[in-house]
């Protein structure tokens, strides 16, 4: 009797952990494994046929003359740089202003946060019209990508502002008091107290913005479909088109996904380091 209880006691944790862990692993490790296998094959999901082709799919993406991989990567890199600069130049100043304004903080936070809780498709549809009402940003091949980045920055400003606000309120007031006694002006306080104390938050927001904008898809799909003249073809869109708009390219699309993973992984690694070092709920 006692023995049976102890058996079930021993199995219980696995029963609790099992379903969640299985699904989480199935849709990360297992699926990445399958797609790695597929990426070495000439694979057609609908025909069900597959032929081993070695590194052909990767070779095609990286070196073939008809490959748009590097073009898409270049566009993605431009989008990432614009988003990161735009985000840091808006959300940190907004957080500082929000603190300084003192009144209406809750209201501002609510209004600035709205885009974060609105479906991306809705934002893209609305901005598609706003951009075409005021200038033809989306019709011109060198303004289309910055216009998409503008939407990205606008949509993320409030979210990142909230993160910066949390970081700012953690800085002990006593540091500023001491600086005032030492005769530091506003800029010196910002430069020598706020910035160093905010370093981790800055790294966090930067890395999260990089990872997020590497994956930009919805606004491209809705607003430009990669055009005009492929000027907004980014890597996530490229993968989508190759996998689902062209038949029998699943192997090639899988290779593209793995290449994207290789690029993003550098930043994800940094993020994991930051993630591990932060404390949640530990007051």
Partner 1 sequence: MSRRIALIAMTLGALVMVYPYAYMVGSSLKTRKEFAESRESLIPPRYQIREQLAHARGAPSALDWPGADWSIWRNYVDAIRYGGIDRYLGNSFIYAVVITSLQLFFNTLAAYAFARMKFFGRDLLFGMLLATMMVPPAVLLIPNFLVVSELGLVDTLWGVIIPGFAGAFGIFLLRQAFLNIPAELEHAARIDGCGSWGILVHVILPLSKPAIITLGLFTFMGAWNMFEWPLVVLSNQDYYPLTVGLSLFRSETSADWPRVFAASVMGAAPLILLFLVAQRYLVGGISLSGMKT
Site for partner 1 in 110-149 (CB under 8 A): 110-115, 117-130, 133-134
Q: Which of 215, 233, 24 is nearest to 120 (CA)?
A: 215
Closest to partner 1 by CB, 145 vs 236, is: 236
Query: Is residue 272 part of the contact set for partner 1 (CB under 8 A)?
Result: yes
Closest CA to 44 of 253, 282, 272: 253
Work out whether 245 is an interface residue with partner 1 (CB under 8 A): no
Name the nearest CA neighbour of 218 among 155, 157, 161, 135.
155
Six token digits for residue 30:
């297992």
With binding defined as CB under 8 A, does residue 176 bind partner 1? no
Report how far residue 92's alpha carbon sits from residue 111's, in angstroms, rounded to the nearest whole number: 16
Residue 264 contacts partner 1 per CB under 8 A: yes
Region binding partner 1 by CB under 8 A among candidate stretches 55-63, 81-89, 175-183, 257-265:
257-265
Size of the site for partner 1 (CB under 8 A): 109
Instruction: Please report, to the nearest 10 degrees, the dihedral formed by the alpha carbons of residues 232, 234, 239, 243 taken in order.
Output: -10
Quote the CA–CA distance of 173 and 58 in Å, as a whole number.
54
> What residues from 212 to 241 belong to the interface with partner 1 (CB under 8 A)?
214-215, 217-218, 221-225, 236, 239-240
We find the least distance from the C-beta atom of residue 50 to partner 1, in angstroms, to be 11
- The distance of closest approach from Cβ of residue 122 to partner 1 in the complex, given in angstroms and rounded to an integer, is 4
Q: Among 152, 156, 167, 226, which residue sits at the site for partner 1 (rule: CB under 8 A)?
A: 167
Looking at the Cβ atoms of 65 and 147, the one nearer to partner 1 is 147
Residues 179-198 contacting partner 1, CB under 8 A: 197-198
Q: Minimum CB separation from partner 1 for residue 182, in Å?
A: 21
Task: Choose between 65 and 249: whose C-beta lies nearer to partner 1.
Answer: 249
Which C-beta is closer to partner 1: that of 86 or that of 115?
Answer: 115
Q: Which of 154, 176, 192, 206 binds partner 1 (CB under 8 A)?
A: 154
Does position 88 bind partner 1 by CB under 8 A? no
Cβ atoms of residues 207 and 88 within 8 Å: no
Which lies closer to partner 1 via its Cβ, residue 65 or residue 237?
237
Shorter beta-carbon distance to partner 1: residue 14 or 142? 14
Contact set for partner 1, span 93-112 (CB under 8 A) = 94, 97-98, 100-104, 107-112
In the bound complex, what is the minimum distance in angstroms from residue 273's beta carbon to partner 1? 11
260 binds partner 1 (CB under 8 A): yes
Measured CA to CA, the distance from residue 119 to residue 45 in angstroms comes to: 30
Of residues 61, 80, 147, 253, which one binds partner 1 by CB under 8 A? 253
């Amino acid at each position: 009797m006692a023995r049976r209880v102890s058996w079930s006691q021993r199995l219980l944790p696995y029963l609790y952990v099992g379903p969640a862990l299985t699904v989480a692993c199935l849709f990360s490790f297992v699926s990445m494994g399958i797609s790695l296998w597929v990426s070495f094959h000439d694979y057609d999901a609908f025909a069900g046929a597959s032929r081993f082709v070695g590194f052909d799919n990767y070779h095609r993406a990286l070196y073939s003359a008809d490959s748009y991989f590097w073009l898409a990567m270049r566009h993605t890199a431009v989008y990432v740089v614009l988003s990161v600069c735009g985000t840091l130049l808006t959300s940190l100043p907004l957080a500082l202003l929000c603190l300084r304004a003192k009144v209406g903080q809750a209201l501002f936070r609510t209004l600035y946060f709205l885009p974060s809780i609105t479906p991306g498709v809705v934002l893209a549809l609305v901005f598609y019209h706003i951009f075409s009402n005021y200038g033809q940003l989306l019709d011109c091949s060198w303004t289309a990508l910055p216009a998409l980045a503008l939407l990205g920055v606008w949509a993320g400003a409030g979210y990142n502002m909230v993160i910066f606000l949390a970081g700012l309120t953690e800085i002990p007031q006593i540091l500023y008091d001491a600086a005032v006694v030492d005769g530091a002006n506003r800029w010196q306080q910002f430069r020598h107290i706020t910035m160093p104390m905010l370093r981790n938050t800055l790294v966090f927001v930067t890395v999260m913005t990089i990872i997020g904008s590497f994956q930009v898809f919805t606004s491209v799909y809705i607003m430009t479909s990669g055009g005009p003249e492929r000027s907004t073809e980014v890597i996530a869109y490229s993968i989508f088109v190759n996998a689902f708009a062209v038949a029998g390219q699943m192997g090639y699309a899988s290779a593209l996904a793995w290449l994207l993973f290789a690029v993003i992984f550098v930043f994800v690694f940094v993020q994991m380091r930051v993630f591990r070092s932060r404390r949640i709920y530990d007051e």
